[in-house]
Amino acid sequence: MTNEREQELIKRLQEAVINYKPADAKKAAEEAIAEGADAYKMTMEGLAGGMEVVSEKFDTHEYFVPETLLCAKALYAALDLLKPFIKVQEGTVRGQVVLGVMQGDVHDLGKNIIKAIFEASGWTVHDLGRDVPLKKFVEEQMKTDSDIVMLSAMMTTSMVGIKKLIPMIKEKNPKVKIMIGGAPITDKTVSEYGADVTADNAPNALKEAMKMLDALRKGKM
Amino acid sequence: MNGLERVATALQMKEADRVPVAPLVCGATHRVAGISYEEWARGGNVEAMVQGHLDTAKLIDHDGFCMLIDLSVEAGDFGMEVIYPLNDTPHPNYDNNFLKGPEDYKKIQRINPRKGGRMKTVIDMVGGLSKQVGGTHAIVGFVYGSIGILSMMRGPENFFMDLMEYPDEVLAAIEVVDDVLIDYAKAQAEAGAHTVCVDHLYCSQSILSKPLWEKFEGPSIKKICDAIRGAGALVSLHNCGNGIYFDMSEKWANPVAISHAYLADDVTTWEEQKTKWGSKMTTIGWMAPGPVAMLGTPDEIEEEVKAEIGAMAKGGGFILSTGCEFPPNSPLWNAKHIVDCAKKHGVYSK
């Protein structure tokens, strides 16, 4: 494949994500696979590149939740095809996260946007869904040895479970980092509940996760 | 002054004897009523629910009652399956959406909110409280807006994408839901609600762009609010999103008050909020339910009360409250402390 053709496919993937065109994303991914393009490069430079622009648009209130969800839909239309062809390269793997909405809470919109952005950026996401029993987070972290556990709560009634859950996770693995998010969560909740960090939207969650992973890998935390 | 006079004075942008205070103590009243959250929320025991509100007022002495049960009341009556945990807020069962695909929007039927279901419970609760304390306390009815209800029946994620992919189907469903909500809001006004509060949650930067919100909920909320005014009650709104579109709220609902947790999208401080919007509509708010009302120490709550009164109370147009429902699992002591602090720091000097 020529460099020009590769760049053309990357650009088409980016534009399909940015302009939320699942059919275009799928077609570009199919062509990339048929022509033997590097699936990892297509994912990272095409899909993740597009999602980076979407994140900026979300941050600056050009895009809102519906637009972002449709971008994620386009992203998955291509990612589902490209994934089996991605060869894990040394030094390119990002981190692993366990992600879920707290027990008693079914608000999973923010969680799903976070999942799309993290997956597009090369992270492995173990998504437990919504209304997740506390024990399940602990078990999944142990099973996957994930670097970060991300807990979402949109109600004060579900938020209180976080206080109970964090010591349960840390008891099994003191090094694991905990990010919490959702409407009732503030910096005060982070310190009172013993979490490591919070983020008010998906792009910021990714930035915070990158920082924590970097520090973890350098052995600082 | 009694609570009703105090609230009415604030709504007229005048100073009462002190700042009115009404933390949105709704689900938490089940503990005073002596029934489980589940029994309370299912709505079968209106008498206990009314008594729970009255006894809570004896404990905390707030100025008004909010008739929210939870946001799934209307969706449940339209046919969405609702799960009632024993000690938690009810919620739709998103594993079994009533609207499984965009073609299902036409399944929604007009229902009579006065005949049965939890909408009738709310109407009866308004009636029960009105009879007992309608002359002394503000009674605030509650209606979830049309697109909020539909998002619960379709699942929020599907619904938000449908707004862009299947707008005609959504708009047709909104018309049906509106007809029911108009009657529901009127029934609450007729039962004695002084104001009916419409929750237009998605009218904020947290979820929808301004044009998209306006297209789907602008005309809808106008019809409901006109019906409320027509039935002799005042219109108020609730929105706990971030960056609320006050200009859209004014244009389409023209409320006397907004209960909110965060600032309008066109201001950056509460002082600016007061200057820009404070003379147009009363702020009901804005104490954070989690960090302050639930986790706050007595000193932190007092500091917050002082700060909010300092920023917003001058000249009236301010009712101190939580920015969203008082956490149902939070100690009522905190609600009482909010009220006590408002009495201590909210006295207007004549």
- State yes or no: pLDDT of A92 exceeds 60: no
Question: How big is chain B by its Cα radius of gyration, in Å?
Answer: 19
- Kindly report the average pLDDT of chain B as a whole number: 96
* Torsion sign over Cα B313, B316, B317, B321: positive
Q: Is the pLDDT of residue B2 over 80?
A: yes
In tens, the pLDDT along B211-240 reads 999 999 999 999 999 999 999 999 999 999
Chain B: residues touching A (Cβ < 8 Å): 85, 88-89, 91-92, 94, 156-157, 160-161, 163-165, 205-209, 212, 240, 243, 288-291, 294-295, 327-330
**Residue B190 CB-half CA count within 13 A:** 11
Chains A, B: CB pairs < 8 Å: 75
Report the candidate in A42, A38, A40, A37 with the shortest Cα–Cα distance to residue A14. Answer: A42
- Give the separation between CA A52 and CA B58, rounded to whole angstroms: 54
Asked if the model's pLDDT at residue A164 lies above 70, the reply is yes
Give A60's DSSP letter.
Answer: T
What confidence category does residue A217 fall into, taking pLDDT thresholds of 50, 70 and 90? confident
Residue B294 has pLDDT above 70, yes or no: yes
pLDDT tens-digit map of B47-99: 999 999 999 999 999 999 999 999 999 999 999 999 999 988 999 999 999 99
Q: Shortest CB distance from B88 goes to which of A66, A104, A109? A: A104
The model's confidence at residue A91, banded by pLDDT at 50, 70 and 90, is: low
- Per CATH, the number for B3-345 is 3.20.20.210
Residue A84 DSSP one-character state: G
Residue with tokens 């996760």: A209
pLDDT of residue A89: 56
Q: Is residue A90's pLDDT more than 80?
A: no
pLDDT value at residue B350? 66
**Do B76 and B19 contact (CB within 8 A), yes or no?**
no
pLDDT digits (tens, 9 = 90+) for B111-159: 999 999 999 999 999 999 999 999 999 999 999 999 999 999 999 999 9
Per-residue confidence (pLDDT) for residue A221, from 0 to 100: 57
Domain spans, chain A:
3-85, 96-217
Q: Which CATH superfamily is domain A3-85 in?
A: Methionine synthase domain (1.10.1240.10)
- Mean pLDDT (whole number) for A68-72: 92
CB within 8 A of B268, min separation 6: which ones? none
Q: Do A188 and B164 touch (CB under 8 A)?
A: no
A107: closest CA of chain B, how far (Å) = 8
The distance between the two most distant Cα atoms of chain A, rounded to a whole number of Å, is 56
**Residue B183, Cβ neighbours under 10 Å: how many?**
19
pLDDT at position A220 is: 62
Using a CB-CB cut-off of 8 Å, the residues of chain B touching A107 are: 156
8 Å CB contact between A40 and A89: yes
pLDDT tens-digit readout, B253-269? 999 999 999 999 999 99
ipTM over 0.90: yes
Average pLDDT, chain A: 90
> Chain A contacts of B208, Cβ < 8 Å?
64-66
Strand partners, A126: A98
B186 vs A164: CA distance, rounded Å: 44
What CATH superfamily classification does A96-217 receive?
A: Cobalamin-binding domain (3.40.50.280)
Residue A71's nearest CA partner among A13, A8, A6 is A13
Please give the pLDDT value at position A219: 74
Q: Which of A64, A73, A130 sits opposite B208 (nearest CB)?
A: A64
Q: What percent of chain A has pLDDT over 90?
A: 61
pLDDT at B317: 97
**pLDDT exceeding 70 applies to what percent of chain B?**
100
What is the model's pLDDT at position B285? 93
Q: Chain A residues with CB inside 8 Å of B157's CB? A: 69, 108-109, 112
The share of chain A scoring above pLDDT 70, in percent, equals: 96
Residue A19 clears pLDDT 90, i.e. is over it: yes
The mean per-residue pLDDT over the stretch B299-321 comes to 97
Residue length of chain A = 221
Min Cα distance B1 → chain A (Å) is 34
Mean pLDDT of B288-317: 94
Query: CB contact, 8 Å: A109 with chain B?
Result: yes
Phi, then psi, of B286 in degrees rounded to 5: -130, 30
